[in-house]
Amino acid sequence: MDFLLLAADHSRPINYLPIALQLVIAIGFIGVMMGATHLLGPKRKTKDKLINFESGIPSVGNARQPMGIKYFLVAILFVLFDVEVIFFYPYAVNFREFIAEGIGNTVFLEVVLFVGFFLCGFIYIVKKGALDWED
């Protein structure tokens, strides 16, 4: 009977015991496995195993050579605009609820402002030439 009373009250620390127990078991399992592989695993340190490995291609030259930034700039801009587009999803999912609650016009105005800021940023990027690959 007391157990049912404890289970009904979700704010008691005893209800978090299964989570804590699972966390302790998981951390213990990881520790045991890492220790076992370290102690039981092979330890052959040869010259070939100690050299740097880069996708099967031998390292040539200095790694600090300057390289073009255009690829990285386009990748960062893609991530930036991709994340901005993700913010449209909640609006699209809840559009009918916004209309039913009578706040559809307000939310639509906010989305139009968001798209406006989005387009201002895109126009700025195009005018700065961030998407031009020719130097």
SS3 category, 78: helix
Share of the chain above pLDDT 90, in %: 21
Rounded to whole angstroms, the Cα distance separating 76 from 119 reads 17
Are residues 45 and 93 in contact, defined by beta-carbon separation less than 8 angstroms? Answer: no
Amino acid type, 56: G
**3-state DSSP percent of the chain in helix, strand and coil, to 5:** 70, 0, 30
pLDDT of residue 27: 98
Share of the chain above pLDDT 70, in %: 86
User: What pTM was estimated for this model as a whole?
Assistant: 0.46
pLDDT tens per residue, range 32-76: 999 999 999 888 888 877 777 667 666 677 777 777 778 788 888
Q: Where are the domains of the chain?
A: 2-50, 70-128
Q: What is the mean pLDDT of residues 66-90?
A: 82
